[in-house]
A and B are shown apart, each in its own frame.
Chain A
Amino acid sequence: MKSIYEISKKDHKTFKLPLCDISYELDDKYKRKLENNLPEISEVELVRHYTALSKETYSVDDGFYPLGSCTMKYNPKVNELVAALEGFRDIHPLQDEEDVKGALKIFKLAKEYTCEITGMDDATFLPSAGAHGEFTSIMLIKKYHLDRKDYKRTKIIVPDSSHGTNPASASMNGFDVITIKSDENGLVSVEELKKVLNDEVAGIMLTNPNTLGLYEENIVEVTRLVHEAGGLCYYDGANLNAIMSVSRPGEMGFDCLHLNLHKTFSTPHGGGGPGAGAVCCKDILSKYLPNPYISDDLKISYRDSSIGHVKDFYGNFLVVVRAVTYMLSLGRDGFKDASQNAVLNANYLMNKLKPYYDIAYDKTCMHEFVLDLSRFKKETGFSALDVAKRCIDYGIHPPTMYFPLIVHEALMIEPTETESKETLDRVADIFINIYHEAYDHSVDLSKAPFTTNYGRMDETNAARHPILKYGD
């Protein structure tokens, strides 16, 4: 597609300011002398350009988007309508409290719902994303230990199946990361855990269901053991969509957690953000929650006991507005319905694919499952990447590839609850077709996709000789 800079022509411009005869002279020493090379483009050209770009972007509104661990469920339109209400969109963050009661009530509602769903006591909506929520949560744990003058706790335990953001968030907080191996069933190994637990451990970071889509069956024992060793337990809520109103992190024994409102609570991903990484916690960590703190009586306060600021103002407010809209829509019956069907959809698709592809850990899964294409690759010469790229030709988005790292040729499939049986049947047929294409070599999958406007990109060259802006 033509770059906007190639469309640009001198003096193409639609924008105009009102006439005004006020002018003041700026001192020359402060003045910009550098030419500004922003594109010059009329409104019609602008609209056509971005409309063309949008058409070259696959989205949930286009079709099946089974990115494992990302929960690409349908983003209800009413959420967008509500977020565009002027009473939410056009209010200044530094208006007086009595001017923004409705906004503060949004946070209160969000807290009530998320705490009830997770079995926690308190919450903040300041973090902007999952990783930001992790970073914030681990800082709560850090502050908890330091406040107790327990200075020797310098280690955080992370399973080898975890998201990369977990160890990165721990090390951003100055912790040493201890990675423990999963057992032969893909679960946290209690034996491995016991080996590393001691009085230097500040806590553990766990995703449940884990990134293999499996419920951690020893979860209660795991959190008990960590607590006995004096550590705290953090729950990565990336996969909460599987278990709402079935199992709560509070009962599992966790002390704090983050939720991805842009996963479980249906706010759109926006091509990579903005999300919102709410952090919920038990009472023992409540006083450390980041500033500003919004209390139930709708007051904004700055507390000395807090870890401090992690985000400007009050977080991604309009994302929280969308999430609350969704929460009110679903209600207690809807959450259960959503989780149950997310799990049923995943199991149904897994069962349809099982005769053809190896399942990494073949048992009842939660909201997602992982295919292991190691044998497939050995027998056909085609990789997980090739299968993923071939999915594109059939009009669906590929699954997450090569994650979790403990499965070698991994394809991680999360259908979500907002797909019909008919879609899942069609998707199963697509994967089965690809299977046959690979085994009878009727299609060279290593060249897929064939039907798109673009072929596979040269990523190596992109990294070796970076061109990061127009004109580089």
Chain B
Amino acid sequence: MAYTINNASEIKEMLETCKVEGYQDLYAHVPKEAKFEGELNLDLGKSEMEVISIMKSLSKENKVYSSIFRGAGAYNHFIPSAVKSLGSLSNFVTSYTPYQAEISQGLLQGIFEYQSMICNITGMDASNASVYDCGTAASEAVHMTTDKKRNKILVSKNVKPSTLEILKTYAYAYGDSIEVVNIKDGLVDKEDLKAKLDETVACFYVESPNFYGLIEDTLEIGEIVHENKSKYILGADPLSFGILKTPKEANCDIAVGEGQSLGLPLSFGGPYYGYMASTKELVRKLPGRIVGQTVDSNNKVGYVLTLQAREQHIRREKASSSICSNQSLCALNSAIYMASIGPKGFYEVSKRCYDLSHYAYENIKNIKGYKNKYETDFFLEFVIETPVNVDIINERLKKDDILGGYRLSDNEMLMCVTEVNTKEEIDKLVEILKEFSL
């Protein structure tokens, strides 16, 4: 199937206008050694019917679970139909970065409103238009704080493992150094943090809820970090801000995280997006696109891409980040999601996740042989020690079409419960877990 249009006589006429006889003449500048002779070793193009049939059968080789208790960075939340529908409007889907403001006001306003909503939920002063994911958001954020004197980055050991790995890769590239702060009872070990803070430390990156779902004392950690004149960067599931202390209230300098929980499907891990919000002081160091409000030639309120002097197309090798394309449509979907549930819905979904996950936690830890690993409070996710190997439990759950918790070790699983898991689902989960009771 081809998406080209012109028929043979149109093509002939066009070739004549170009004063060439055939396509080959248009490629006359390609040197012989670089010419690819022959045919690519690929199938011929297929019809739409064939393509759909092939792709459908591939999709069926993936198991879609009716009940999901796994998170660890990707969360199964409800997405209102209106969000799906509006997020697929073809003008949003098939437009480019809004370079031409006069014919992109809708998209620009949509992104401006996204930035505003990120500020609403985090309490921060400013947000960019998104970056690739949580890991790259954290990496860009820590790099915003480094300079010649302060180039050491402290990271808590209990952040999401892949985020720590991405931070390490970016630090390797940038030439920054990373040191990991130990944990105690699943939380940041504040004594170790204090010991590691010195005048070379640019920032401390911590997540709350952390990878184990535990809620950190974000306010106190901030005080410790700021005492050392280092920057404080908080990573968080944005949905937690429905009930949990915001980055603003914790006095953090930069807030980042994975936006997927705000209206994006699981999608085998992507596309999601990373949100980035900062204090006023750091706005001009934020990477990526930022939309600003202004007026047009008739003094009418409008929007443009702004503060572009930070970006690669202006600063080239002096730019702090090379980001150009971002995850705009994902961010727009999140804005539509946030608007669709509103401030009350945002609180309710967040609280429902808290309530249901605690209901599951209480019921599971009371089964003989199961035990909660940590004592402090959590949001959405919690670690359970199991009487038998986690793999055995998950194999059993699979039989009932349930995707069990994420395996942390042979006898530890990270359970995740969201607003879509009903009480009945949780009760059933508990019943099955009881089969392994001691």
Q: Are B52 and A81 in contact (CB under 8 A)?
A: yes
Q: Are B241 and A32 in contact (CB under 8 A)?
A: yes
- Bound CA–CA A126/B374 (angstroms): 34
B428 to chain A: which residues have CB within 8 Å? none
- Bound CA–CA A130/B63 (angstroms): 31
A252 to chain B: which residues have CB within 8 Å? 34
Q: Which residue of A lies closest to B270 (CB)?
A: A316
Given contacts A129-B326, A455-B102, 10 further A-B contacts (CB under 8 A): A20-B355, A47-B86, A56-B105, A89-B265, A272-B98, A272-B329, A344-B18, A347-B20, A421-B13, A454-B302
- Bound CA–CA A452/B103 (angstroms): 7
Query: Which of the 9-residue segments B71-79, B188-196, B227-235 touches chain A?
Result: B71-79
- Bound CA–CA A356/B220 (angstroms): 68
A419 interface residue (CB < 8 Å to B): yes
Q: Which residue of B lies closest to A424 (CB)?
A: B14
Q: Are A61 and B270 in contact (CB under 8 A)?
A: no
A219 interface residue (CB < 8 Å to B): yes
**Of A13, A37, A174, A449, which contacts B344 at CB under 8 A?**
A13
Which B195-242 residues have C-beta < 8 A from chain A? 215, 217, 219, 241-242
Most chain B CB atoms below 10 A, which of A23, A59, A325: A59
Q: Are B377 and A26 in contact (CB under 8 A)?
A: yes
A73 interface residue (CB < 8 Å to B): yes
Q: Mark A92-104, 1 if CB is under 8 A from B, else 0.
A: 1111000111110
**Of A117, A271, A275, A313, which contacts B40 at CB under 8 A?**
A117
Q: Are B64 and A87 in contact (CB under 8 A)?
A: yes
Which A220-255 residues have C-beta < 8 A from chain B? 220, 243, 245-248, 251-252
**Of B50, B89, B94, B316, which contacts A269 at CB under 8 A?**
B94
Leading 4 A-B pairs by shortest Cβ distance: A313-B269, A87-B59, A270-B329, A102-B61
CB distance from A444 to the nearest CB of B (A): 12
**Of A70, A90, A321, A456, which contacts B265 at CB under 8 A?**
A90
17 A-B pairs (CB sep. < 8 Å): A26-B354, A32-B245, A37-B343, A39-B342, A41-B342, A85-B59, A91-B266, A271-B328, A309-B165, A312-B270, A329-B46, A331-B45, A332-B39, A363-B29, A458-B297, A468-B112, A468-B115
A379 interface residue (CB < 8 Å to B): no
Q: Are B244 and A90 in contact (CB under 8 A)?
A: no
A410 interface residue (CB < 8 Å to B): no
Query: Which of the 9-residue segments A1-9, A196-204, A370-378, A435-443 touches chain B?
Result: A1-9
B283 to chain A: which residues have CB within 8 Å? 466, 468
**Of A94, A270, A454, A457, which contacts B70 at CB under 8 A?**
A94
A247 and B244 in contact, given A174-B173, A314-B269, A421-B14 (Cβ under 8 angstroms): no
- Bound CA–CA A230/B37 (angstroms): 29
Q: Are A94 and B293 in contact (CB under 8 A)?
A: no
Q: How large is the interface on A (under 10, 10 to 19, 20 to 34, 35 or more residues)?
A: 35 or more
**Of A41, A274, A345, which contacts B339 at CB under 8 A?**
A41
B135 interface residue (CB < 8 Å to A): yes
**Of B27, B106, B243, B342, which contacts A40 at CB under 8 A?**
B342
A455 and B97 in contact, given A252-B34, A348-B17, A418-B3 (Cβ under 8 angstroms): no
- Bound CA–CA A85/B55 (angstroms): 9
A99 to chain B: which residues have CB within 8 Å? 62-63
Q: Which residue of B lies closest to A109 (CB)?
A: B58
CB distance from B119 to the nearest CB of A (A): 5
Most chain B CB atoms below 10 A, which of A23, A132, A275, A312: A312
**Of A100, A171, A337, which contacts B2 at CB under 8 A?**
A337
Q: Are B423 and A328 in contact (CB under 8 A)?
A: no
**Of A18, A92, A418, which contacts B5 at CB under 8 A?**
A418
**Of B10, B317, B336, which contacts A177 at CB under 8 A?**
B317
- Bound CA–CA A433/B332 (angstroms): 37
Which B386-430 residues have C-beta < 8 A from chain A? 403, 406, 419, 422-423
Q: Are A57 and B107 in contact (CB under 8 A)?
A: yes
Q: Are A337 and B4 in contact (CB under 8 A)?
A: yes
CB distance from A154 to the nearest CB of B (A): 11
A60 to chain B: which residues have CB within 8 Å? 94-95
- Bound CA–CA A56/B30 (angstroms): 42
A245 to chain B: which residues have CB within 8 Å? 36, 39-40
Q: Are B120 and A106 in contact (CB under 8 A)?
A: no
- Bound CA–CA A463/B391 (angstroms): 55
A119 to chain B: which residues have CB within 8 Å? 36
CB distance from B86 to the nearest CB of A (A): 4
